[in-house]
Amino acid sequence: MNAGKTLGAWWHDPVDYRWLVRTLAARSTLGPVKVLIGLAGAAIAVMGAVIAGTPVGPPGQPGIAATIGVASGILWALRWWLLPWPSRTESLVLIGCADLLFTTEFLLLPNRLFGAMGVVLLVVTGSYVSFFHGARALAVHSAWSVLSVIVFSVRIVTGGGDVRLALAVGLLLLAAVVSALAYQIMNWLLRTESLSDPLTELLNRRGLEIRLPPLVDSHPAVCVMTFDLDEFKKINDTYGHRVGDAVLVSTARRLLDAAGETAVVARTGGEEFVVAAPITAAAARTEAERLRRAVAEPSETGVQVTASIGVAVFDTTTCPQCPRPTTDRLLQSSDAAMYRAKQSGGNLVEVDEFVPPGNDHHPPAR
């Protein structure tokens, strides 16, 4: 993948905020992270109280600006210490308010050089955004940070400061702000590598576990298809593993191209693939047959390959009152259907219209 495609993928990557939070919780680190984020607000409150009434602090005794700064720091700390981890929307709102407060508060300081140093706090919020949110949220934050750097640098000059000092301060702060972009790109690359299959570059099983829940939760109908290449061991035994790998790569490309942009495509192990897409129960078999034919088309490797496909469908239009199934249940159902297809001779499709326990008025479709 060249640099342009890499940056494009980074820009469009849908960062799963909920998965990141769940991962921290599963590793028992969510609580400590909340404490640290709250401590940052407490430290800012203490700083505001310390500089109030000093030559570098906001005007007044203690003054409205100092009072707002201290109160905001205290409220920030209490919010993170006492309340659950914020939703994605609340998280963005909190960071947006923090960015706005940092810039406006430090613009009020009479010491313009000390005020410019306050931009360093935007690096703190930028680090948070770069980890928990996507490239577009970081772009908005970075634009605000760069604008703040320019304003503070100009303010030093208009206050009688040396132009070279203002330029040096501006470049120093700009370097700190830009570091958040580099941090996010590196973090994204590492996360992407850990969620991808190195051979086919599709999602791996862990990547599927991350991308599948949002798909299931956000569409009224979801179709999960499990593919298992028929007699793949014979290909490896006859032609060697190099040809077998080429067949896997070719199959991955075909599934990715044929499934469409709305689909989630993964290699979950060996010769097994999963395709999930927002497809209705009525269209599930037709779509699975289309993908079966795409896999079986003559290959550039010269090796003919077919796939047994198991399909699980959940469609609220056929069962409006049915509870939405978990992704594990859908995967288990499609996997079981795939094994039935394989036991029936392979190169065919078995479809289950998924019905949760207790809702048996929609029998499995065959």
Residues 133 and 13 in one domain: yes
- Rounded-to-integer distance, Cα 209 and Cα 195, Å: 9
Residue at 248: amino acid letter: L
The pLDDT-based confidence of 65 (bands split at 50, 70, 90) is confident
Query: 366 in a domain, yes or no?
Result: no
- Rounded-to-integer distance, Cα 124 and Cα 136, Å: 17
Question: What does the pLDDT read at residue 365?
Answer: 38
Residues 101 and 224 in one domain: no
Residue owning tokens 């984020």: 37
Q: What is the mean pLDDT of residues 60-67?
A: 72
Query: 134 in a domain, yes or no?
Result: yes
- Rounded-to-integer distance, Cα 338 and Cα 227, Å: 7
Domain boundary among the residues 171, 194, 217 is at 194
Residue 363: in which H helix or E strand, if any? Answer: none
Residue 220 has pLDDT above 70, yes or no: yes
Query: 199 in a domain, yes or no?
Result: no
Query: 70 in a domain, yes or no?
Result: yes
The residue segments making up the domain with residue 50 are 3-194
Question: What does the pLDDT read at residue 66?
Answer: 78
What CATH number should be reported for the domain holding residue 239?
3.30.70.270
Residues 18 and 97 in one domain: yes
Strand partners, 266: 203, 274
Residues 30 and 164 in one domain: yes
The pLDDT-based confidence of 357 (bands split at 50, 70, 90) is very low
pLDDT digits (tens, 9 = 90+) for 297-338: 887 767 889 999 999 999 988 878 888 888 999 999 999 999
Query: 172 in a domain, yes or no?
Result: yes
Question: What does the pLDDT read at residue 252?
Answer: 96
- Rounded-to-integer distance, Cα 18 and Cα 11, Å: 19
Residues 212 and 183 in one domain: no
Query: 87 in a domain, yes or no?
Result: yes
Tokens of 39: 């401590």
pLDDT digits (tens, 9 = 90+) for 31-55: 999 999 999 999 999 988 888 878 8
To the nearest whole percent, how much of the chain has pLDDT over 90?
Answer: 63
- Among 33, 19, 9, 366, smallest CA distance to 217 is for 19
Residue owning tokens 């939760």: 217
Query: 19 in a domain, yes or no?
Result: yes
Tokens of 235: 């290909």
- Rounded-to-integer distance, Cα 209 and Cα 115, Å: 46
Residue 113 has pLDDT above 80, yes or no: yes
Residues 12 and 159 in one domain: yes
Dihedral sign for Cα atoms in the order 196, 14, 143, 118: negative
Residues 43 and 129 in one domain: yes
Domain boundary among the residues 194, 215, 247 is at 194
Question: What does the pLDDT read at residue 362?
Answer: 39
Query: 91 in a domain, yes or no?
Result: yes
* 135-to-140, 177, 216 alpha-carbon distances in Å: 9, 14, 24
Residues 146 and 283 in one domain: no
Residues 187 and 48 in one domain: yes
Question: What does the pLDDT read at residue 360?
Answer: 39
- Among 270, 253, 279, smallest CA distance to 349 is for 279
Residue 127 has pLDDT above 60, yes or no: yes
Residues 253 and 336 in one domain: yes
Q: What is the mean pLDDT of residues 183-189?
A: 87
Give me the number of domains the chain comprises. 2
Question: What does the pLDDT read at residue 53?
Answer: 76
Residues 47 and 68 in one domain: yes
pLDDT digits (tens, 9 = 90+) for 241-263: 999 999 999 999 999 999 988 99
Domain boundary among the residues 172, 194, 216 is at 194
Residues 167 and 219 in one domain: no
For the question of whether the overall pTM of this predicted structure is more than 0.95, the answer is: no
